[in-house]
């Protein structure tokens, strides 16, 4: 969706962006090297060249930008000065500082970002690569050794025969659809192969479902907080988002009932196993209740179980679809990213046969089908998945214990609830806005996902997501950098035990 208005039909859009969107467009500025003013100037220049900042766009006042980025005003002054020297910005009394009219702009209708989206800086980091940064925006690791074994097994098979077909499978390689169906059946959700569509990661499953169910001006219902990149997928359709809070058992059923009654949304988007960023596992009772509510209001559910098996500190309920009454329309997205390797980019969505057929049409339109070799490997690995997951649990538990110990020692004022699963801690910062902290942390080499990106209501502005899916040496370095950033932010934490706290 391109929702930009253009001042001259057929010319470049000149929508004025909000201050937070402007700052988000060069949010990764601090991760480079060299003097701070030069890094800031480079970040703004790149945002202009990439089309994120258009000619005529107003920049924040120097004092204001210095406050938000937690840098000295002198640094901002020097950066603006450097940009004025090369003619990229101009400052006028009364109208502030703006991108100059002749700054290079290509004639595309969008810079590729989702208007109003919150995930832009996370996406940008995936594109730019990590540099020296420890990025907490993703919680994925290298591949499990079983992938190497599967690859070598496949290499020893009759590859010439296996590759002797045209190679287009928009619905998915038949053997993989079968393997996914068998796997889901094994988790307590009886599934046939024609109920499964293979996607390029669970992310693409979200995209295809959004294309089918969402429309400009419509509404999606999500949890608060939720994951910014997923919400961006819905926003990209021009769809509004309403949220319900979650507690330790999952999405609040009373709030959900009220939201469904007040404004029937087009889709309910949930992460029951496990919720990102909080790590909450939705209970069986809550799953049943949510399924009933959705069926009564005739609203389809998309359950995103991309984190299933990523950590497993207890018994997991079946997928939400297994608890929903007849008549409820539940789509279940999953992925091998967190259990085998994200680089396989193998995900799926499971649902009613006729919906899967429609989704396959969108998949064909999107890319004519995912690559075949990864699907062959995935089909070989799926029967082993329970064993692969079980083998990884001790490693991940160890990492969780390690970071918890480090944090208790180095950052004793921070608070979190131990996650039921997933790859991150949901940290509450005592008395500090997490967005402000994220700017400081970036300069210390850590990319933090602040709560404000996960929740537009402001209820989680003091929270941030801390991924712990790293080796112990990286975790040591991570907590050390965070502790130094925390020292720099220079505030004393209030006594956390005295305050009422939001748990998730």
Quote the DSSP letter at residue 58: B
Q: Which is nearer to its own copies, 321 or 359 (CB)?
A: 359
- The nearest distance, CB 168 to its own copies, in angstroms, is 5
Q: Which is nearer to its own copies, 235 or 275 (CB)?
A: 235
In the three-class reduction of DSSP (H, G, I as helix; E, B as strand; rest coil), residue 450 is classed as strand
Q: Which is nearer to its own copies, 254 or 368 (CB)?
A: 368
Residue linked to tokens 């009219």: 101
- The nearest distance, CB 5 to its own copies, in angstroms, is 11
Report the distance separating Cα 417 and Cα 36, nearest Å.
36
Instruction: Give the angle subtended at the CA of 204 by the CAs of 5 and 47, to the nearest 5°.
Output: 45
Tokens of 287: 């799953």
**8 Å CB contact between 297 and 260:** yes
Query: Which has the closest alpha carbon to 22: 5, 47, 55?
Result: 47
- The nearest distance, CB 204 to its own copies, in angstroms, is 4
**8 Å CB contact between 121 and 229:** no
**8 Å CB contact between 403 and 409:** no
- The nearest distance, CB 363 to its own copies, in angstroms, is 8
**What spatial distance separates the first Cα and last Cα of the chain, rounded to whole Å?**
32
Residue linked to tokens 């967005």: 435
Tokens of 317: 């309920």
- The nearest distance, CB 462 to its own copies, in angstroms, is 28
- The nearest distance, CB 144 to its own copies, in angstroms, is 9
Q: Which is nearer to its own copies, 211 or 436 (CB)?
A: 211
Quick one: CA torsion of 314, 316, 317, 321, rounded to 10 degrees? 160
- The nearest distance, CB 64 to its own copies, in angstroms, is 27
In the three-class reduction of DSSP (H, G, I as helix; E, B as strand; rest coil), residue 238 is classed as coil
- The nearest distance, CB 154 to its own copies, in angstroms, is 8
Q: Which is nearer to its own copies, 140 or 413 (CB)?
A: 140
Q: What are phi and psi of 329, to 5 degrees?
A: -105, 105
Q: Which is nearer to its own copies, 44 or 65 (CB)?
A: 44
- The nearest distance, CB 63 to its own copies, in angstroms, is 31
Report the distance separating Cα 373 and Cα 162, nearest Å.
9
Q: Which is nearer to its own copies, 131 or 488 (CB)?
A: 131
- The nearest distance, CB 201 to its own copies, in angstroms, is 6
Q: Which is nearer to its own copies, 74 or 157 (CB)?
A: 157
Which residues fall within 8 angstroms of residue 272, CB to CB, at 6 or more apart?
A: 250, 281, 282, 287, 303, 305, 317, 319, 320
Partnered with residue 89 across adjacent β-strands are 99
Report the distance separating Cα 400 and Cα 470, nearest Å.
10
- Count the neighbouring beta carbons within 10 Å of the beta carbon of residue 395: 13
Q: Which is nearer to its own copies, 270 or 440 (CB)?
A: 270
- Count the neighbouring beta carbons within 10 Å of the beta carbon of residue 475: 22
Q: Which is nearer to its own copies, 246 or 301 (CB)?
A: 301
């Amino acid at each position: 969706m391109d929702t930009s208005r253009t001042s001259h039909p057929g010319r470049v859009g000149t929508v004025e962006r909000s201050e937070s969107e402007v700052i988000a467009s060069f949010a990764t500025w601090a991760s480079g090297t060299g003097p701070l003013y030069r890094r800031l100037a480079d970040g703004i220049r790149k945002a202009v060249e990439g089309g994120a900042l258009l000619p005529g766009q107003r920049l924040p006042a120097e004092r204001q930008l210095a406050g938000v980025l937690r840098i000295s005003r002198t640094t901002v002054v020097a950066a603006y000065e450097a940009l004025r020297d090369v003619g990229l910005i101009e400052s006028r009394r009364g109208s502030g500082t703006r991108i100059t009219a002749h700054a290079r702009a290509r004639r595309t209708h969008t810079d590729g970002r989702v208007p109003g989206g919150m995930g832009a800086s996370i996406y940008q980091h995936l594109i730019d690569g990590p540099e020296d940064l420890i990025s907490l925006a993703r919680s994925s690791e290298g591949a499990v050794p079983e992938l190497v074994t599967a690859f070598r097994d496949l290499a020893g098979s009759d590859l010439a025969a296996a590759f002797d077909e045209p190679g287009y499978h928009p619905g998915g390689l038949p053997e993989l659809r079968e393997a996914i169906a068998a796997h889901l059946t094994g988790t307590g959700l009886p599934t046939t192969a024609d109920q499964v569509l293979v996607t390029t990661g669970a992310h693409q499953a979200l995209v295809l479902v959004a294309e089918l169910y969402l429309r400009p001006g419509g509404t999606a219902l999500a949890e608060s907080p939720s994951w910014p990149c997923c919400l961006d997928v819905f926003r990209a359709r021009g769809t509004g988002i309403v949220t319900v809070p979650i507690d330790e058992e999952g999405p609040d059923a009373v709030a959900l009932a009220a939201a469904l009654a007040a404004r029937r949304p087009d889709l309910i988007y949930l992460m029951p196993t496990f919720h990102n960023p909080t790590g909450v596992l939705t209970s069986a009772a809550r799953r049943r209740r949510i399924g009933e509510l959705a069926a009564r209001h005739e609203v389809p559910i998309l359950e995103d179980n991309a984190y299933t098996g990523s950590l497993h500190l207890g018994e997991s309920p079946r997928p939400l679809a297994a608890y929903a009454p007849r008549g409820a329309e539940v789509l279940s997205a999953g992925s091998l990213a967190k259990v085998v390797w994200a680089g396989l980019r193998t995900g799926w969505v499971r649902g009613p046969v006729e919906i899967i057929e429609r989704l396959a049409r969108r998949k064909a339109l999107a890319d004519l089908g995912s690559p075949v070799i990864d699907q062959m490997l995935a089909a070989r690995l799926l029967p082993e998945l329970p064993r692969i997951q079980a083998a990884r649990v001790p490693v991940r538990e160890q990492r969780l214990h390690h970071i918890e110990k480090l944090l208790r020692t180095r950052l004793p004022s921070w608070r979190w609830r131990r996650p039921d699963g997933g790859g991150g801690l949901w940290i509450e910062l005592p008395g500090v806005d997490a967005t402000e902290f994220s700017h400081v942390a970036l300069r210390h080499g850590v990319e933090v996902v602040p709560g404000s990106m996960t929740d537009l209501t402001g209820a989680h502005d003091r929270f941030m997501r801390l991924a712990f899916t790293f080796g112990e040496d990286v975790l040591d370095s991570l907590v050390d950098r965070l502790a130094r950033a925390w020292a720099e932010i220079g505030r004393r934490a209030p006594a956390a035990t005295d305050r009422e706290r939001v748990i998730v």
